[in-house]
Amino acid sequence: ELKDLNSSMTTPEMAKEVEVLRKDCASYTEKLERIKSATNHVTPEEKEKVCREQQLYRREWRRRKRMATELLDAILEGYPKSKKQFFEEVGIETDEEHGVALPAAV
Protein backbone atom coordinates (compact mmCIF):
# COMPACT_ATOMS: atom_id res chain seq x y z
CA GLU A 1 0.00 0.00 0.00
CA LEU A 2 2.85 2.34 0.84
CA LYS A 3 4.38 1.72 -2.58
CA ASP A 4 1.07 2.53 -4.29
CA LEU A 5 0.62 5.68 -2.22
CA ASN A 6 4.17 6.86 -2.96
CA SER A 7 3.78 6.34 -6.69
CA SER A 8 0.37 8.03 -6.92
CA MET A 9 -0.03 11.72 -7.70
CA THR A 10 -0.76 14.30 -5.02
CA THR A 11 -3.82 16.54 -5.10
CA PRO A 12 -1.92 19.62 -6.40
CA GLU A 13 -0.25 17.48 -9.10
CA MET A 14 -3.63 16.12 -10.13
CA ALA A 15 -5.09 19.63 -10.26
CA LYS A 16 -2.22 20.77 -12.53
CA GLU A 17 -2.72 17.72 -14.77
CA VAL A 18 -6.46 18.34 -15.01
CA GLU A 19 -5.82 22.00 -15.91
CA VAL A 20 -3.36 21.02 -18.65
CA LEU A 21 -5.84 18.50 -20.05
CA ARG A 22 -8.64 21.08 -20.02
CA LYS A 23 -6.46 23.53 -21.94
CA ASP A 24 -5.63 20.82 -24.49
CA CYS A 25 -9.28 19.92 -24.84
CA ALA A 26 -10.25 23.57 -25.32
CA SER A 27 -7.60 24.08 -28.00
CA TYR A 28 -8.70 20.93 -29.83
CA THR A 29 -12.34 22.00 -29.64
CA GLU A 30 -11.42 25.40 -31.05
CA LYS A 31 -9.41 23.78 -33.84
CA LEU A 32 -12.33 21.47 -34.67
CA GLU A 33 -14.71 24.42 -34.86
CA ARG A 34 -12.35 26.27 -37.21
CA ILE A 35 -12.16 23.20 -39.45
CA LYS A 36 -15.95 22.75 -39.44
CA SER A 37 -16.63 26.39 -40.24
CA ALA A 38 -13.91 26.69 -42.88
CA THR A 39 -15.06 28.40 -46.03
CA ASN A 40 -12.10 27.29 -48.10
CA HIS A 41 -13.32 23.77 -48.80
CA VAL A 42 -12.73 22.34 -52.26
CA THR A 43 -15.81 22.23 -54.44
CA PRO A 44 -16.65 19.08 -56.39
CA GLU A 45 -16.00 20.96 -59.65
CA GLU A 46 -12.52 21.96 -58.52
CA LYS A 47 -11.79 18.42 -57.40
CA GLU A 48 -12.96 17.04 -60.75
CA LYS A 49 -10.78 19.55 -62.60
CA VAL A 50 -7.70 18.52 -60.59
CA CYS A 51 -8.45 14.83 -61.19
CA ARG A 52 -8.76 15.41 -64.95
CA GLU A 53 -5.47 17.30 -65.00
CA GLN A 54 -3.77 14.51 -63.06
CA GLN A 55 -5.07 11.92 -65.53
CA LEU A 56 -3.79 14.04 -68.40
CA TYR A 57 -0.33 14.33 -66.82
CA ARG A 58 -0.23 10.59 -66.03
CA ARG A 59 -1.11 9.76 -69.62
CA GLU A 60 1.55 12.17 -70.93
CA TRP A 61 4.17 10.77 -68.53
CA ARG A 62 3.45 7.21 -69.65
CA ARG A 63 3.52 8.23 -73.35
CA ARG A 64 6.82 10.07 -73.06
CA LYS A 65 8.40 7.30 -71.00
CA ARG A 66 7.31 4.73 -73.59
CA MET A 67 8.69 6.86 -76.44
CA ALA A 68 12.03 7.33 -74.66
CA THR A 69 12.27 3.61 -73.89
CA GLU A 70 11.56 2.68 -77.52
CA LEU A 71 14.13 5.19 -78.76
CA LEU A 72 16.80 3.94 -76.33
CA ASP A 73 16.05 0.30 -77.19
CA ALA A 74 16.51 1.13 -80.88
CA ILE A 75 19.86 2.79 -80.14
CA LEU A 76 20.97 -0.12 -77.97
CA GLU A 77 20.30 -2.75 -80.68
CA GLY A 78 23.61 -2.03 -82.33
CA TYR A 79 25.45 -0.81 -79.24
CA PRO A 80 28.24 -3.14 -78.06
CA LYS A 81 27.90 -2.32 -74.34
CA SER A 82 25.12 -2.96 -71.85
CA LYS A 83 22.17 -0.68 -71.25
CA LYS A 84 23.55 0.34 -67.85
CA GLN A 85 26.93 1.27 -69.32
CA PHE A 86 25.24 3.29 -72.07
CA PHE A 87 23.15 5.20 -69.52
CA GLU A 88 26.30 5.98 -67.50
CA GLU A 89 28.23 7.20 -70.57
CA VAL A 90 25.41 9.41 -71.82
CA GLY A 91 24.35 10.55 -68.34
CA ILE A 92 20.77 9.29 -68.39
CA GLU A 93 19.00 9.08 -65.04
CA THR A 94 15.95 6.84 -64.79
CA ASP A 95 12.85 7.12 -62.64
CA GLU A 96 13.72 3.81 -61.00
CA GLU A 97 17.16 5.08 -59.88
CA HIS A 98 15.51 7.90 -57.98
CA GLY A 99 12.61 5.86 -56.66
CA VAL A 100 10.06 7.86 -58.64
CA ALA A 101 6.83 6.07 -59.42
CA LEU A 102 3.80 7.11 -61.39
CA PRO A 103 1.16 8.42 -58.93
CA ALA A 104 -1.84 6.19 -58.42
CA ALA A 105 -5.06 7.09 -60.17
CA VAL A 106 -7.57 9.00 -58.06
Among residues 27, 43, 46, 45, the alpha carbon closest in space to that of 35 is found at: 27
Amino acid, res. 69? T
The pLDDT tens digits for 17-60 are: 999 999 999 999 999 988 888 777 778 898 899 999 999 999 99
Task: Work out the pLDDT band at 103, boundaries 50, 70, 90.
Answer: confident
pTM: 0.55
Dihedral of alpha carbons 24, 26, 29, 33, sign: negative
| Structural domain boundaries in the chain | 1-41, 43-105
On the question of pLDDT at 69 being above 80, the answer is yes
Quick one: pLDDT at residue 23? 96
pLDDT for residue 106: 64
Alpha-helix runs per DSSP H in 44-97: 44-76, 83-90
